[in-house]
Copies of this chain bind each other. A is one copy, B any other.
């Protein structure tokens, strides 16, 4: 199978996950360079002006930003459609994607995952408990209240499984990584919806690569992923594990 697309990004990033779920759902072949979060050599900096992941490479062409990449893949490969046909619903789906990328990104990634995972295990720094507590007790309930008002009791946001579900689900995978469980008594629709979305085949296929990454040192990750049959690219831009400026997980 010839891979048309190459992704630079890590399986633990929700922004990368969005793109991978789109590729998987559309049945598109791809390779991945699973560079460690927040690192990347000079060549990576040239390909990604904001030093963010994911980056999509198609031949000698490069495209940045997870939302832009997902939209491009939809336009290049319209079936199965992941954006609603109705213009107003399509706009609302994009808004919910933006809400996930933006607010859930702040709370889940910077308030939780970065503090409890990346900072401790990648940089050997202490977790800032006040930041984590604020994310868990103040900011996350705001997001859950909002989502509870938007999400359907059954099925997906706009009929078929699509980009808004993919974006929201991608962030809730990282919520699970830090062992935060949505209180189903307080937010019943959201708790059931998240479970439904993450049970989709595209999410479960990726979960097989995500779980081991949570407990594998960076230097051994590629070998472990190869053993699991991940579509690894030969070249990597993430060998330089020295911290080279903060790279946002998007």
Given A72-B87, A76-B87, A87-B76, the answer on whether A95 and B50 have CB atoms closer than 8 Å is: no
The answer, yes or no, to whether A136 is at the interface (CB within 8 Å) is no
A64 to B150 CA separation, bound complex (whole angstroms): 14
A88 near B61 with CB under 8 A, answer yes
Q: A85-120 CB contact bits vs B (8 Å, 1 = yes)?
A: 001101110110011001100000000000000000
Q: List 20 extra interface pairs beyond A61-B88, A68-B91, CB under 8 A.
A: A49-B99, A49-B146, A50-B99, A50-B103, A63-B91, A63-B92, A64-B95, A65-B94, A65-B95, A65-B98, A67-B94, A67-B98, A68-B94, A68-B98, A69-B91, A71-B94, A72-B91, A72-B94, A75-B87, A75-B90
Interface size in chain A (residues, C-beta < 8 A): 25
What are 26 A-B residue pairs whose CB atoms fall within 8 Å in the complex?
Answer: A49-B103, A49-B146, A50-B99, A50-B102, A61-B88, A63-B92, A63-B95, A64-B95, A64-B98, A64-B99, A65-B94, A65-B95, A65-B98, A67-B94, A67-B98, A68-B91, A68-B98, A71-B91, A71-B94, A72-B87, A72-B88, A72-B90, A72-B94, A75-B87, A75-B90, A76-B87
